[in-house]
């Protein structure tokens, strides 16, 4: 473990990761890997999560390849020195902000999108000129093995290290000294990572989760809202950090929405989602049992079927859910959807505020007043109107949480910024001896009096 970290650190200290050519070559090699090894990666996702190949390709292969190409295309612009104004009292001189790599960074990836959420931050770390130690999730062993096998073949095997294993290996890595730690996962483990980082004053980026709400009102077609919600909740079986966690709507709309969701789910998966090859599975029996335990939190209005051995949970809608029910106290991370009724958007915003800040918030509405209320009265990592989860695919939108849903962000240029130190550089220009005779320190007694006026 320590040897892997030391090797990555030596690679960075050698200077090999800093040149622009090295960075772009590594990104290009990553894109080549995703093309040439696409089938193996898709099969690994199918094995670990039951995700059909086309879904695995879109979410964990193609999305990463397009992000890498976008970063590579814009990297020179994003990494060149940015000149800032120099006050006359400080000049003559030149002031710039220079982005330099942090050093050796640790990336700890989760299991729900085991390739996407390992490789997306890796793109930013490489683009910024760092060496990397990557820790894939042990809960998706085939994907972890694929990363351990393929990354050293295509990338600089000294500068990019992959460490497999479980809790013991992650704990050992957290005892090592890094220059940045990037963690994606749940709040409980996030606190452990942050506490470990505090021992060495290591900065962290935490991409967590939370209970992402969805507001639905009758200014937007209910059937279309139901299509979006059914798709977002059942994609990867709701095992997505920005999946809709619960719906807020009025008592009048709720029965219409339940009926619309029934039709939407039927169009997606037919009469028997369990036998539909497009319907994935929960990652393991422990998480399946946890989700089964949430089904008693309210009245089952739709679905409710389950099979622990098969890691299967039917798309389920709950109504009449008490606010203190277990399903409303924790992030669901599965295809179980509570619908909570409120009287208006003001009450909905107040309910959102009572919980920790979510990673995402959604609304299906054409009302400008509702949009303004959500922007003004709630806080979330992102806010998406009349769609679900599409914010992830917009590279110039920073992706990250706030408060309990995380700290820091990435994607696009923000990834380069996250893995860089923005260094302030001021170069005072030489002037003639004649001018130097008249030069004064910037804060003389006279200038102090002028500043205080």
Task: Decide if 218 contacts 253 (C-beta within 8 A).
Answer: yes
CA gyration radius, the chain:
25
Mapped onto helix, strand or coil, the DSSP state of residue 209 is coil
CB within 8 A of 272, min separation 6: which ones?
Answer: none
CB within 8 A of 450, min separation 6: which ones?
Answer: none
Task: Decide if 208 contacts 186 (C-beta within 8 A).
Answer: yes
Rounded (5°) CA angle 98-103-104: 150
User: Distance between CA 355 and CA 62 in Å, rounded?
Assistant: 35
> Which one is catalytic: 207, 314, 331, 413?
207
User: Distance between CA 217 and CA 429 in Å, rounded?
Assistant: 62
User: Distance between CA 288 and CA 306 in Å, rounded?
Assistant: 9
369 is catalytic: no
- Number of helical H runs and strand E runs in the chain: 17, 20
> Which one is catalytic: 31, 67, 241, 314?
241
For residues 376, 381, 385, 391, the Cα torsion angle rounded to the nearest 10 degrees is: 150
Q: Phi first, then psi: what are they for 181, rounded to 5°?
A: -125, 130
Dig out the tokens for 328 from the structure: 């409303």
Dig out the tokens for 222 from the structure: 């209910």
Task: Decide if 216 contacts 223 (C-beta within 8 A).
Answer: no
371-389 as b/e, with b when 16 or more CB fall inside 10 Å? Answer: bebbeeebebbbbbbeebb
For residues 265, 266, 267, 269, the Cα torsion angle rounded to the nearest 10 degrees is: 80
Dig out the tokens for 437 from the structure: 């005779």
Dig out the tokens for 344 from the structure: 């208006």
149 is catalytic: no
Which residues are part of the catalytic machinery?
207, 241
């Amino acid at each position: 473990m320590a040897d892997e970290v030391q090797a990555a650190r030596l690679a960075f200290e050698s200077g090999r990761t800093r040149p622009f050519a090295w960075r772009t070559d590594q990104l290009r090699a990553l894109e080549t890997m995703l093309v040439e090894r696409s089938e193996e990666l898709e099969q690994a996702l199918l094995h670990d999560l039951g995700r059909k190949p086309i879904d695995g390709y879109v979410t964990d292969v193609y999305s990463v390849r397009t992000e890498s190409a976008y970063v590579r295309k814009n990297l020179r612009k994003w990494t060149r020195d940015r000149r800032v104004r120099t006050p006359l009292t400080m000049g003559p001189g030149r002031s710039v902000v220079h982005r330099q790599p942090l050093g050796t960074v640790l990336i700890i990836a989760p299991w729900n999108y085991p390739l996407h959420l390992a490789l997306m931050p890796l793109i930013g770390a490489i683009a910024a000129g760092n060496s990397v130690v990557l820790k894939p999730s042990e809960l998706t062993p085939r994907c972890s093995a694929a990363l351990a096998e393929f990354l050293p073949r295509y990338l600089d095997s000294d500068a990019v290290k992959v460490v497999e294993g479980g809790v013991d290996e992650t704990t050992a890595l957290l005892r090592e000294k890094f220059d940045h730690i990037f963690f994606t996962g749940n709040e409980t483990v996030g606190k452990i990572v942050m506490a470990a980082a505090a021992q060495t004053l290591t900065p962290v980026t935490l991409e967590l989760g939370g209970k992402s709400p969805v507001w639905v009102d009758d200014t937007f077609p209910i059937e279309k809202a139901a299509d979006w919600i059914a798709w977002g909740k059942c994609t990867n079986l709701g095992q997505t950090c920005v999946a809709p966690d619960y719906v807020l709507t009025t008592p009048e709309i709720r029965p219409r929405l339940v009926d619309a969701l029934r039709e939407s789910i039927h169009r997606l998966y037919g009469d028997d989602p369990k036998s539909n090859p497009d319907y994935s599975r929960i990652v393991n029996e422990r998480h399946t049992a946890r989700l089964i335990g949430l089904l008693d939190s309210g009245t089952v209005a739709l679905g409710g079927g389950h099979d622990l051995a098969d890691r299967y949970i039917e798309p389920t809608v709950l109504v009449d859910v008490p606010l203190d029910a277990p399903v409303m106290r924790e992030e669901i991370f599965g295809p179980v959807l509570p619908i909570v009724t409120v009287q208006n958007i003001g009450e909905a915003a107040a309910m959102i505020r009572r919980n920790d800040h979510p990673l995402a918030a959604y609304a299906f509405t054409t009302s400008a007043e509702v949009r303004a209320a959500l922007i003004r009265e709630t806080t979330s990592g992102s806010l998406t109107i009349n769609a679900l989860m599409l914010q992830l695919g917009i590279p110039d939108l920073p992706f990250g949480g706030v408060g309990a849903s995380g700290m820091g962000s990435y994607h696009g240029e923000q990834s380069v910024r996250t893995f860089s130190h923005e260094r302030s550089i001021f170069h005072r220009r030489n002037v003639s001896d004649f001018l130097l005779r008249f030069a004064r320190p910037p804060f003389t007694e006279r200038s102090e009096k002028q500043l205080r006026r």
